[in-house]
């Protein structure tokens, strides 16, 4: 058992309001510089939709993640040695159009236009060329089902649905959409690390955060292709790639990452998971149907004495273990089995977990009138709007039972709370539903509490980072105290 | 996976400082976003090297009780993008003046160095005036200086006051709650000057008229945390994700406490995603849905089975048991007025006997008069204005009979109107006869009328539906054809809704918004939904009630703030104008329509309910129902001089002279001749808002008549032979405004069209106060960095104008000078009992008596020389008269004197005043005097209210005594508000705010006719319009509404209902032009349409389209989406003409417009009713609203490429 600590996260999609505040918190801090304008380390996507960059989930096109070749696991893009021969040619990179061409406007015209016979207006101009441009794509182009005929209907995840099921999704009685906010998954088996020719990408030992060294990066952009989530981006001004850093400067000082702090839907949780690094390869090779279960099995019980002892042997500090024991992420992922990895079939073992959303009840149309009268008080998982099959494509590598299990439990929690607080659903029915979901009343109440009442400190349980210990390897902390911040700011040197 | 190395060695990781250095800053300052957003979120603003680099949400709201989710974090995508504006290329950095005007000004100044004379020579030159008016919006700005700009503004104000009167200077600024003093600076200047403040809440159509109708309250709603208590939540016309972004988490959290969430919305909106049930009621038909819900509730929860908590509630807290007179009409009856107490022998001599009402007492078997009516509120002897069910004379207990069904003298056939089918039918109603001074009259209860109205026969004869399947009014089957929702669904919904209320003691909440409130008949849709809440006892409960959130932002510390903002500490009354009436008349939109009965058809003609809306408006002004400025066709300074010449000496004589002049029609109300040059507004001052685009319904009419610049209207002026009381001029005016000034931090549409643009501080550059109805905290805006470039805070700008006026006044207004201010009958004053009947003095039906049968006429004194000194000093009238709100007023002498002793002061003319020079000083005066932030003041204010109500209340302030917050305290941490009698919730001990708890728990009456929540309105105008009872009225038909007289459908276009809901990437137009928001959307404000409609006109996603009707044209790109139902379209409120708008081939290749280019405002005349209990005027409280959702448009693919 090789116990390691990973700072992991849960996004509760049933609470997500699709507001993109998270995206902007990140943008303000990290990607408002020249060369980074088009980057959205945190973005929010509407499903069904094609996302950003468009159709990123289509690995036949982008070649991200891993694939099983018999018994061996290989990056879809080819292994590091193999791709070195292709250093200057990577046909699987998203083009600027597949992201979008960043733009601004001729705002100054509103002040400077000479008196004319009509009103001036500020036209869009490209931030790259400075010329007038037609805006044809953006980082959130299919928000809220906009352009559904072009985007929603071409969601790669719809491929598992029959033609009729796909059509139905865009009919009034069955239509649905929901949001998926995405950041770097800080995977346990990150393909970006595997394919980087420069060895610039690494996982931090203390928290598993995946970083691209801005010193070592030479801008080969294989990480951009290799990441199946398209969460590594090329800074065209600096000539280096950059990605979500899980706000380590904030995390190291006990503050949640900016996108977590600012999540006004209160959907985000962060905490430490302990896992067994010895089993990564084995788990990553599990057949699709069993992938989610296998990934869960990798996560260790932080209160298990054997795990604690192995963790200490690996140099994991006591307070890190304590943080793991208090981790809300552990509750959602491992205890309650409610949070699932996105596209585990990419086999990178992503450490960002999603609680899938409950969605409105399906209606029927009777005599031309919209009808909900057949529905239960809350509906059932069989008459919710999104097909379980679609959800399974996203969150359980196609395993529908796992999705059903989660949704049943979420619904049972709500039914239990309704029976207890209002009584429009009987206690008897509530008990039956809890039983079917394999959930006790106490667990249901815990889930309800952690879903609705958590304060900042309940949602975000960060380990203490002993920065003084890291710093003293290079310089005495007492000296650092005196010299921190001195120096003249300079831009990083261009890569290559 | 041996190749994946974790790196531990810090030496290999020194580069990590690259990102650490970014996360460093020099200081963090608390501020927020100061206009038009209900969020009221506290933010941390980060400053690095003197530059604001980013903002993050503050998290330190004091906590509630632990069983409520906390408010952290608050702040949305828009708020967090704000810092972009500060140094952006759209920031107004310097004063700008249009070159045409500037050149003429400089020339004029050379001619005459006296600025007022220079302005006169310029503006009275028709050629020059027309030239710069026509240049409005067409570029040619030049950078100027503050000195120059202030001189022009002040010269124009003084010239206008001298030539036409100060009430020709009108100012517009939106909702003050988000930045109390930024609003208050401008309003204070205007009111000291004698100018006019234009309302916003009703003009935005954010005011729900149903709220004053039913509750006598502008709006009072639960804070969002209170939703968490609800067990059934319905959202209608409110897209909580979009518009309540920081609050919507309480919905999802309530769901995990067992609440059901149902969304009524025609499109699969963002909030529908959250729902258990999404019910796609056809756009604008929610009223029909709720009428049928009420039918089911009455049948199953009142008639087939009685729920004691429901009947008890409606008996105590609504007008249900009150007696209504049934008037004979042919062989039938019609519902008439409430039976007056004075009409029965027992109460014949009682004070205010026209204003006290009767129930039928079960015990004494007689009509009896409970306490709590408006007549008790304004009685000479206070202490009976409460909701105890006790006789108003002898205090004996009363037990009202809710219905006469089991104890009736007779059954009367009462006529009711089906406004959809345009038929009148009759239904049997149980009756008791009452002996009155006018003889025996048939009466019934409001409840019995309701039951009949909703169509439940209870075995009585008449045109009643027999079952739910019957399609007459108002059954579940009846609503199907209107809503598209099956009857079964309505029945199930009603059972679950009322069932929840029954089981939980009223924990059903309806969140409601602009999607409902912007329809022409919004008040009726609201009344239908509120009826369901009243019938199930959900109002005045935590977790229950109507949560109306449309631009309603609660200015918590209202009492001291109003005193400062409207300058009543120096001079009263202020001139407060309901903007819908002002704009309807002054932008000449009234000229483009005929009688309102063209599109609001109803059977039976009635003088009170027919004709032209402009005539209704003129009537409302002369009867004292609504304000109108300019008030007269004469300068009010001159009027006083004239009166003096005619011998008037005292103020009373000045007023009498004016009344006689009016009576003899020698003096006219300006509203009666709005197009005469002497009746035009001359100066329009805009700050904190986008008056010309976001809210300007009929934007193109503003351009044409108000501004006098180019326009894309294609419509005829048709009112000529249809107006009687309003004078028609064959030639309509172009360009009424002499000067348009915008104070702004960004170059928005309004700024672009203004003559002068003054650069103002952004919200991170100034000190101010912020509160909202969505939470119960008050917190500050703070100056993180000084106002950038040449910007100044609003407070300082208005101070500078005040100073300039005082400097320039000598020679024009050397001495204090008197004028006459006309104001309408006021809500929350004794005016509420002024007019028991509608009588028109101009028709000889009564005498003109100011404050009774006509507007109040008050003599006031302006002091322009000392205007600046007054501005910066908290004046003596506040000390003398006390302060108050909502009908409660208390003395502040001790507090005032303490302020003089312990705070900064101003000393002049031998007196010392608390200083208002700096915004923090003004903020501290407010915080010191507000019951919401000073516990001892709250205690005193409750004492006053106890006196009126006659029941104990001051215990509510006990726990907060000694609490007192200063501005610096708020900068350290937001403070929770204290209980206050200015508001109706009870919030101590961490309890969430829900309105009207003080009414249900402490028996304080609602501020209405009966003191109860009103199902029934017996104002004669309401009776005439058939809106005495809840009703369904169909939306005006687009073909008769006047959108398509000139513009006709063809095979390239399609006609759609045009909806302008609130959008995701902006708060109105703020943030719209923000590069970050534009990047996350489509780079402009697109036009949303359904896949099916788009196919019909061959429009593909992101194609350019042209959208038009007679009013104007919009050119933008289409978004095609499955979530939009066919037949409707959306253009989210509110785009700017400044960003990415091409020209329109359809309208001569002129620049296309914004969303309001497709609208023209129609006012609903019933909402002009006044002079009667809750139907009395208050600013932003009463009057017709600027509805626009009944608009239709044609859309077609843009021909060729867009032309810029």
Whether B88 and chain A come into contact, CB under 8 Å, resolves to yes
Using alpha carbons, list the distances in angstroms from residue A3 to A276, A305, B1072.
5, 12, 50
Residue B36 confidence (pLDDT): 85
CA dist., res. B18 & res. B372, Å (int): 70
Residue of B98 and A381 predicted with greater confidence: B98
Q: Give the distance from residue B734's alpha carbon to the nearest chain A alpha carbon, in angstroms.
A: 17
Chain-chain contact of B1150 with A104 (C-beta, under 8 angstroms): no
B1149: CB partners within 8 A, 6+ apart:
B1143, B1203
Report the 10 Å Cβ neighbour count for A480: 14
Condensed to tens digits (0 to 9), the pLDDT of residues B14-47 reads 899 999 999 999 999 999 999 989 899 999 999 9
Maximum Cα interatomic distance, chain B, rounded to a whole number of Å: 106
pLDDT at B1063 over 90: yes
The mean pLDDT value for A238-252 works out to 97
Condensed to tens digits (0 to 9), the pLDDT of residues B892-928 reads 999 999 999 999 999 999 999 999 999 999 999 999 9
The mean pLDDT value for B968-986 works out to 98
CA dist., res. A294 & res. A71, Å (int): 16
Query: What is the chain B residue with the closest CA to A146?
Result: B1121
Angle, in degrees to the nearest 10, between helices B487-504 and B286-298: 60
Residue B494 confidence (pLDDT): 98
Whether B67 and chain A come into contact, CB under 8 Å, resolves to yes
CA dist., res. B510 & res. B548, Å (int): 8
Report the 10 Å Cβ neighbour count for B66: 10
pLDDT at B66 over 60: yes
* Tokens at B616, concatenated: 């209704």
Chain-chain contact of B279 with A451 (C-beta, under 8 angstroms): no
Chain-chain contact of B1138 with A25 (C-beta, under 8 angstroms): no
Q: Which of A302, A260, A303, A231 is nearest to A4 (CA)?
A: A302
Q: How far apart are the first and last CA of chain B?
A: 58
Chain-chain contact of A118 with B480 (C-beta, under 8 angstroms): no
Whether B66 and chain A come into contact, CB under 8 Å, resolves to yes
* Tokens at B345, concatenated: 């022998």
B364: CB partners within 8 A, 6+ apart:
none
The mean pLDDT value for B402-422 works out to 97
pLDDT at B52 over 80: yes
DSSP string, B470-524: --STT-HHHHHHHH-B-HHHHHHHHHHHHHHHHHHTS-EEEEE-HHHHTSTTHHH
Residue A46 confidence (pLDDT): 98
CA dist., res. B1128 & res. B281, Å (int): 12
CA dist., res. B378 & res. B834, Å (int): 11
Instruction: Return the ∠ at Cα B538 (arms to A418 and B994), rounded to 5°.
Output: 95
**Average pLDDT along chain A:** 95
Q: Which of B844, B848, B860 is nearest to B656 (CA)?
A: B848
Residue A88 confidence (pLDDT): 62
Chain B residues in contact with A423 by the CB 8 A cut-off are 503
Chain A residues in contact with B18 by the CB 8 A cut-off are 214, 492
Angle, in degrees to the nearest 10, between helices B613-622 and B579-586: 130
User: Rounded to an integer, what is the distance from CA A152 to the centroid of its chain?
Assistant: 20
Exposure of A296 by Cβ count < 10 A (0-12 exposed, 13-18 middle, 19+ buried)?
Answer: middle
B901: CB partners within 8 A, 6+ apart:
none
Closest Cβ opposite residue A138 in set B484, B489, B1080? B1080
Condensed to tens digits (0 to 9), the pLDDT of residues B883-896 reads 999 999 999 999 99
Per the listing, tokens 């393909």 go with A191
Using alpha carbons, list the distances in angstroms from residue A252 to A255, A262, A275, A378, B156.
7, 18, 21, 43, 60
Yes or no: say if B1081 and B1144 are a contact pair by the CB < 8 Å rule.
no
Chain-chain contact of A372 with B138 (C-beta, under 8 angstroms): no
Specify the DSSP class assigned to residue B341: G
Condensed to tens digits (0 to 9), the pLDDT of residues B854-884 reads 999 999 999 999 999 999 999 999 999 999 9
pLDDT at A496 over 60: no
Residue B728 confidence (pLDDT): 98
Chain-chain contact of A23 with B710 (C-beta, under 8 angstroms): no
Residue A382 confidence (pLDDT): 86
User: Rounded to an integer, what is the distance from CA B1166 to the centroid of its chain?
Assistant: 17
Q: What is the value of pTM for the model shown?
A: 0.97
B420: CB partners within 8 A, 6+ apart:
B473, B482, B1032, B1033, B1034
Residue A90 confidence (pLDDT): 77
B721: CB partners within 8 A, 6+ apart:
none
Chain-chain contact of B76 with A264 (C-beta, under 8 angstroms): yes
Chain-chain contact of B4 with A113 (C-beta, under 8 angstroms): no
Q: Collapse the DSSP code of A180 into the 3-class scheme (helix H, G, I; strand E, B; otherwise coil) and give the result.
A: strand
**Dihedrals phi, psi of B390, to nearest 5 degrees:** -130, 150
CA dist., res. B213 & res. B1028, Å (int): 10
Q: Which of B495, B540, B530, B489 is nearest to B510 (CA)?
A: B530
Chain-chain contact of B277 with A361 (C-beta, under 8 angstroms): yes
Residue A84 confidence (pLDDT): 61
Exposure of B8 by Cβ count < 10 A (0-12 exposed, 13-18 middle, 19+ buried)?
Answer: middle
Strands (E), A56-161: 66-69, 72-75, 103-105, 124-126
Residue A82 confidence (pLDDT): 61
The mean pLDDT value for A366-383 works out to 90
The mean pLDDT value for B220-235 works out to 98
Residue B1 confidence (pLDDT): 45
Residue A474 confidence (pLDDT): 87
pLDDT at B1016 over 80: yes
CA dist., res. B805 & res. A480, Å (int): 59
The mean pLDDT value for B79-96 works out to 98
> Cis peptide leading into B630, omega within 30 of 0?
yes
Pairing of strands B232-236, B196-198: unpaired
Residue A365 confidence (pLDDT): 92
**Average pLDDT along chain B:** 97
CA dist., res. A116 & res. B946, Å (int): 65
Sorting pLDDT into bands at 50, 70 and 90, what band is A80?
A: low
Q: Give the distance from residue B1072's alpha carbon to the nearest chain A alpha carbon, in angstroms.
A: 13
Q: Give the distance from residue B26's alpha carbon to the nearest chain A alpha carbon, in angstroms.
A: 12
Chain B residues in contact with A193 by the CB 8 A cut-off are 3-4
CA dist., res. B191 & res. B286, Å (int): 41
Whether B142 and chain A come into contact, CB under 8 Å, resolves to no
CA dist., res. A68 & res. B109, Å (int): 85
Yes or no: say if B617 and B1164 are a contact pair by the CB < 8 Å rule.
no
Residue A83 confidence (pLDDT): 61
Yes or no: say if A44 and A23 are a contact pair by the CB < 8 Å rule.
yes
Residue B9 confidence (pLDDT): 77
CA dist., res. B580 & res. B696, Å (int): 10
Counting residues of chain B whose pLDDT is more than 70, the rounded percentage is 99
What residues form DSSP beta bridges with B426?
B415
Condensed to tens digits (0 to 9), the pLDDT of residues A454-491 reads 999 999 999 999 999 989 988 999 999 999 989 887 66
CA dist., res. A24 & res. A19, Å (int): 10
Chain A residues in contact with B758 by the CB 8 A cut-off are none
The mean pLDDT value for A88-107 works out to 91
Residue of B179 and A81 predicted with greater confidence: B179
Residue A381 confidence (pLDDT): 87
Yes or no: say if A232 and A93 are a contact pair by the CB < 8 Å rule.
no
Chain-chain contact of A264 with B73 (C-beta, under 8 angstroms): yes
CA dist., res. B474 & res. A26, Å (int): 53
Q: Collapse the DSSP code of B751 into the 3-class scheme (helix H, G, I; strand E, B; otherwise coil) and give the result.
A: helix
Residue B16 confidence (pLDDT): 93
Pairing of strands B1053-1059, B1128-1131: parallel
Q: In the Cβ-directed half-sphere of B875, how many Cα atoms lie within 13 Å?
A: 22
pLDDT at A178 over 80: yes
Per the listing, tokens 């001036």 go with A120
CA dist., res. A318 & res. A312, Å (int): 7
CA dist., res. A330 & res. B1119, Å (int): 42
Exposure of A325 by Cβ count < 10 A (0-12 exposed, 13-18 middle, 19+ buried)?
Answer: middle
Per the listing, tokens 């001790």 go with B894
Chain-chain contact of A203 with B4 (C-beta, under 8 angstroms): yes
Q: Which of B432, B428, B429, B441 is nearest to B407 (CA)?
A: B432
Counting residues of chain B whose pLDDT is more than 90, the rounded percentage is 97
Sorting pLDDT into bands at 50, 70 and 90, what band is B606?
A: confident
Chain A residues in contact with B990 by the CB 8 A cut-off are none
């Amino acid at each position: 058992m090789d116990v390691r600590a990973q700072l992991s996260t849960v996004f509760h999609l049933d609470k997500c309001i699709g507001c993109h505040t998270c995206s902007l918190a990140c943008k303000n801090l990290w990607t408002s510089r020249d060369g980074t304008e088009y980057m959205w380390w945190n973005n929010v996507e509407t499903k069904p939709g094609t996302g950003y960059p468009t159709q990123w989930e289509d690995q036949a096109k982008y070649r991200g993640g891993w694939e099983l070749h018999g018994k061996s696991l290989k990056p879809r893009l080819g292994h590091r040695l193999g791709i070195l021969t292709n250093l200057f040619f990577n046909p699987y990179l998203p083009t600027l159009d597949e992201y979008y061409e960043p733009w601004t406007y001729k705002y100054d015209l509103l002040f400077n236009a000479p008196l004319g016979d009509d009103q001036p207006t500020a036209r869009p101009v490209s931030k790259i060329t400075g010329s007038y441009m037609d805006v044809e794509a953006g980082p959130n182009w299919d928000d809220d089902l906009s352009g559904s005929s072009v985007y929603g209907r071409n969601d790669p995840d719809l491929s598992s649905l029959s033609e009729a099921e796909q059509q139905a999704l865009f009919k009034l009685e069955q239509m649905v959409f929901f949001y998926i906010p995405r950041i770097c998954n800080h995977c346990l088996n990150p393909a970006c690390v595997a394919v980087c020719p420069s060895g610039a990408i690494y996982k931090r030992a203390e928290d598993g955060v995946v970083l691209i060294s801005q010193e070592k990066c030479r801008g080969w952009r294989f990480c951009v292709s290799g990441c199946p989530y398209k969460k590594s981006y090329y800074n065209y001004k600096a000539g280096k790639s950059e990605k979500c850093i899980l706000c380590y400067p904030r995390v190291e000082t006990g503050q949640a990452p900016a996108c977590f702090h600012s999540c006004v839907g209160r959907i985000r949780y962060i905490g430490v998971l302990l896992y067994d690094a010895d089993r990564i390869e084995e788990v990553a090779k599990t057949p699709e149907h069993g992938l989610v279960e296998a990934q869960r099995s990798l996560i260790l019980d932080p209160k298990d004495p054997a795990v604690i002892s192995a963790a200490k042997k690996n140099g994991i500090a006591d307070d890190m273990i304590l943080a793991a024991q208090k981790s809300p992420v552990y509750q959602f992922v491992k205890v309650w089995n409610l949070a699932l990895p996105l596209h585990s079939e990419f086999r990178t073992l992503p450490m960002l977990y999603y609680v899938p959303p409950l969605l409105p009840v399906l209606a029927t149309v009777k005599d031309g009138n919209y009808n909900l009268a057949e529905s239960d008080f809350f509906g059932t998982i069989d008459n919710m709007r999104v097909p379980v099959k679609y959800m399974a494509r996203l969150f359980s590598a196609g395993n529908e039972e796992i999705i059903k299990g989660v949704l049943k439990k979420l619904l049972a929690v709500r039914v239990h709370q309704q029976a207890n607080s209002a009584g429009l659903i009987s206690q008897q029915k509530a008990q039956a539903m809890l039983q079917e979901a394999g959930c006790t009343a106490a667990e249901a109440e815990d889930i309800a509490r952690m879903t609705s009442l958590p304060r900042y400190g309940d949602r975000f349980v960060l380990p203490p980072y002993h920065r003084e210990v890291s710093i003293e390897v290079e310089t005495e902390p007492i000296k650092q105290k005196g010299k921190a911040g001195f120096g003249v700011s300079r831009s990083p040197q261009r890569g290559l | 996976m041996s190749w994946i190395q974790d790196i531990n060695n810090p030496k290999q990781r020194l580069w990590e400082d690259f990102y650490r250095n970014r996360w460093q800053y020099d200081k963090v300052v608390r501020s927020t976003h100061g206009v038009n957003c209900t969020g009221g979120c506290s933010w941390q603003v980060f400053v690095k090297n003197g530059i604001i680099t980013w903002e993050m949400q503050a998290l330190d709201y004091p906590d509630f009780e632990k069983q409520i989710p906390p408010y952290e974090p608050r702040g949305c995508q828009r708020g967090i993008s704000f810092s972009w504006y500060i140094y952006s290329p759209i920031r107004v950095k310097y004063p700008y003046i249009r070159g045409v005007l500037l050149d003429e000004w400089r020339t004029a100044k050379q001619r005459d160095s006296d600025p007022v004379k220079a302005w006169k020579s310029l503006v009275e030159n028709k050629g020059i005036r027309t030239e710069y008016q026509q240049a409005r919006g067409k570029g040619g700005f030049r950078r100027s200086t503050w000195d120059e700009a202030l001189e022009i503004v002040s010269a124009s104000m003084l010239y206008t006051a001298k030539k036409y009167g100060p009430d020709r200077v009108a100012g517009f600024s939106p909702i003050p709650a988000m930045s109390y003093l930024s609003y208050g600076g401008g309003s204070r200047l205007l009111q000291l000057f004698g100018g006019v403040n234009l309302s916003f809440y009703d003009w935005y159509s954010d005011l729900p008229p149903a709220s004053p109708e039913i509750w006598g309250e502008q709006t009072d709603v639960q804070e969002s945390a209170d939703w968490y208590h609800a067990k059934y939540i319905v959202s209608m016309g409110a897209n909580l994700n979009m518009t309540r972004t920081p609050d919507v988490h309480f919905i999802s959290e309530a769901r995990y406490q067992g609440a059901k969430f149902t969304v009524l919305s025609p499109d699969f909106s963002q909030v529908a995603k959250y729902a258990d049930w999404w019910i796609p009621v056809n756009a604008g038909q929610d009223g029909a849905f709720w009428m049928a819900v009420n039918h089911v509730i009455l049948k199953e929860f009142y008639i087939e089975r009685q729920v004691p908590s429901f009947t008890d509630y409606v008996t105590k807290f609504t007008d249900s048991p009150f007696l209504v007179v049934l008037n004979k009409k042919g062989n039938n009856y019609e519902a008439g007025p409430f039976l007056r107490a004075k009409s029965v022998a027992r109460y014949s001599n009682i004070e205010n006997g026209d204003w006290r009402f009767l129930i039928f007492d079960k015990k004494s078997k007689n009509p009896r008069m409970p306490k709590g009516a408006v007549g008790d509120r304004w009685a000479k002897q206070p202490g009976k204005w409460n909701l105890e069910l006790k006789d108003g004379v002898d205090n004996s207990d009363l037990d009202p009979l809710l219905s006469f069904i089991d104890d009736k003298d007779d059954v009367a056939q009462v006529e009711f109107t089906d406004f959809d089918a345009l038929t009148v039918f009759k239904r049997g109603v149980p009756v008791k006869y009452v002996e009155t001074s006018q003889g025996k009259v048939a009466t019934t209860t409001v409840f019995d009328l309701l039951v009949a109205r909703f169509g439940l026969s209870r075995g009585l004869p008449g045109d009643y539906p027999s079952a739910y399947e019957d399609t007459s009014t108002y059954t579940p089957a009846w609503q199907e054809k209107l809503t598209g929702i099956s009857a079964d669904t309505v029945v199930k919904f009603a059972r679950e809704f009322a069932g929840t209320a029954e089981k939980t003691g009223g924990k059903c909440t309806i969140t409601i918004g602009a999607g409902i409130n912007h329809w022409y008949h919004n008040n009726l849709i609201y009344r239908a939904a509120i009826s369901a809440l009243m019938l199930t006892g959900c109002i005045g409960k935590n977790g229950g009630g109507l949560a109306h959130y449309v631009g309603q932002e609660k200015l918590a510390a209202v009492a001291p703030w109003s005193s400062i903002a409207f300058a009543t500490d120096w001079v009263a009354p202020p001139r407060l104008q309901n903007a819908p009436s002002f704009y309807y008349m002054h932008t000449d939109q009234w000229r483009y329509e005929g009688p309102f009965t063209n599109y609001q058809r109803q059977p039976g003609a009635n003088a009170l309910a027919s004709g032209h809306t402009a005539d209704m408006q003129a009537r409302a002004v002369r009867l004292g129902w609504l304000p109108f400025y300019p008030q007269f066709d004469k300068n009010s300074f001159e009027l006083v001089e004239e009166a003096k010449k005619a011998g008037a000496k005292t103020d009373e004589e000045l007023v009498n002279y004016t009344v006689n002049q009016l009576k003899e029609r020698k003096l006219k109300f300006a509203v009666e001749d709005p197009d005469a040059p002497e009746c035009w507004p001359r100066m329009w001052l805009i700050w904190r808002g986008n008056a010309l685009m976001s809210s300007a319904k009929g934007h193109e009419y503003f351009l044409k008549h108000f501004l006098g610049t180019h326009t894309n209207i294609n419509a005829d002026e048709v009112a000529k032979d249809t107006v009687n009381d309003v004078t028609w001029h064959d030639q309509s005016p172009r360009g009424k405004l002499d000067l348009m000034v915008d104070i702004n931090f960004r170059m928005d549409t309004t700024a672009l069209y203004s003559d002068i643009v003054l650069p103002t501080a952004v919200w991170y550059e100034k000190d101010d106060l912020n509160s909202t109805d969505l939470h119960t905290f008050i917190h500050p805006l703070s100056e993180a960095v000084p106002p950038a470039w040449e910007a100044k805070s609003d407070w300082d700008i208005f101070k500078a104008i005040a100073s300039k006026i005082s400097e320039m006044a000598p020679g024009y207004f050397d001495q204090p000078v008197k004028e006459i201010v006309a104001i309408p009958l006021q809500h929350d004053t004794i005016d509420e009992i002024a007019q028991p009947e509608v009588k028109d003095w101009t028709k000889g039906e009564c005498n003109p008596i100011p404050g009774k049968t006509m507007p109040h006429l008050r003599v006031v004194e302006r002091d322009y020389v000392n205007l600046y000194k007054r501005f910066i000093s908290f004046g003596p009238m506040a000390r003398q008269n006390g302060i108050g709100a909502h009908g409660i007023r208390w003395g502040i002498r001790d507090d005032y004197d303490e302020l003089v002793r312990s705070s900064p002061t101003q000393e002049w003319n031998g007196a010392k005043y608390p200083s208002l020079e700096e915004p923090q000083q003004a903020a501290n005066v407010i915080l010191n005097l507000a019951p919401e932030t000073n516990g001892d003041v709250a205690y005193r204010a409750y004492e006053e209210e106890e006196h009126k109500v006659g029941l104990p209340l001051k215990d509510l302030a006990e726990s907060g005594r000694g609490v007192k917050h200063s501005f610096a305290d708020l900068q350290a941490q937001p403070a929770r508000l204290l209980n206050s009698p200015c508001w109706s919730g009870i919030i101590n001990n961490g309890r969430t705010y829900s309105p009207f708890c003080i009414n249900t728990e402490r028996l304080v009456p609602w501020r209405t006719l009966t003191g109860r929540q009103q199902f029934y309105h017996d104002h004669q105008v309401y009776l005439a319009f058939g809106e005495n009872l809840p009703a369904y009225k169909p939306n005006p038909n687009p073909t008769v509404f006047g959108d398509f007289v000139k513009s006709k459908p063809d095979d390239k276009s399609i006609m759609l209902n045009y909806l302008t809901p609130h959008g995701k990437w902006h708060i109105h137009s703020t943030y719209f032009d923000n590069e970050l928001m534009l990047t996350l959307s489509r780079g402009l404000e697109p036009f949303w349409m359904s896949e099916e409609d788009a196919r019909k006109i061959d429009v593909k996603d992101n194609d350019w389209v042209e959208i038009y009707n007679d009013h104007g044209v919009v050119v933008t790109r289409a978004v095609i989406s499955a979530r939009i139902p066919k037949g409707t379209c959306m253009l989210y409120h509110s785009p700017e003409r400044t960003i990415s708008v091409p020209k329109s081939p359809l309208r001569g290749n002129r620049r296309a417009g914004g969303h309001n280019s497709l609208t023209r405002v129609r006012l609903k005349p019933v909402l002009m009713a006044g002079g009667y209990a809750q139907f009395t005027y208050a600013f932003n409280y009463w009057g017709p609203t600027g509805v626009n959702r009944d608009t239709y448009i044609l859309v077609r693919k843009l021909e060729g490429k867009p032309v810029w």
